[in-house]
Amino acid sequence: MEQTSLNLIAIAVFLMTLSALLTPILEISPFIPALATVGILGLVSLDSLGWQGKGLTLVLGLLASPEEKQRIVHHEAGHFLVAYCLGIPVTGYTLSAWEAFKQGQLGYGGVRFDLSLLSEVKIKETPLIFERFSTVWMAGIAAEMLIYGNSTGGQQDRQTCREMMVLGGINPQNYQQKERWAILQAKTLIEKHQDTYQALGQIMTQGASVEECYQLINQKFLVCEQIKMN
């Protein structure tokens, strides 16, 4: 079950316990908090069974603070920039579960990649593919660590990366080492192109298309090359 669902269940149980203590004092019918609690638990169960917890994520995403939304931008811009640098095509992106929902996707949002190169055979036979994709998956975490000193997101990224490690036959004892290596590589790329990264985050916030994001990165990289030549 999703952590969000578990948290809401815990809140519902807490409210039920609290209401049992307060209803006699406040002279409130005990049926009111009981019905509210049953309603919350029912919605959580329905969401977990029908939408795999994504409905709650959608609601909480709408209630996210400006700071949380900005952290998401930094996270996704990290994915986008590192994917570009490593030659992995970006096919689209969203910055919230609501945006993903409007595009017909039932999920958390994020940067989407061309995964045609990703297969069990290619991962095992071509280590470079594994290294590139693992670096891209860890790039959001790397970006958050660079900006904030820690990472609150990226659980799904870690899961995806570990699923790829399983396909590649990586020894489970080496998972953390591989993740740390990928985060370090992503950090290096983001730091190297810090100005591009910041500008990319700004236009992603404005809803720029993938093509417009590519144009921005190309322009920034071209300017850097010109400066080096001079």
| CATH code (residue 99) | 1.20.58.760
Same domain for 39 and 99, yes or no, is no
Measuring CA to CA, which residue among 165, 172, 174 is closest to residue 129? 165
- What number of other Cβ atoms are within 10 A of residue 80's Cβ? 26
Range of the domain at 42: 3-62
Mean pLDDT value across the chain? 77
pLDDT at residue 33 greater than cutoff 80: no
Cut 0.75: pTM above it: no
Alpha helices in the chain (DSSP H): 3-26, 31-50, 54-62, 66-85, 97-102, 120-125, 127-148, 155-167, 175-192, 194-205, 210-229
Predicted local confidence at residue 205, as pLDDT: 94
Taking the C-alpha atoms of residue 6 and residue 100, their distance in angstroms, rounded to an integer, is 23
Same domain for 31 and 101, yes or no, is no
Same domain for 121 and 192, yes or no, is yes
pLDDT band at residue 154 using 50, 70 and 90 as cut-offs: confident
Per the structure, the count of domains in the chain is: 2
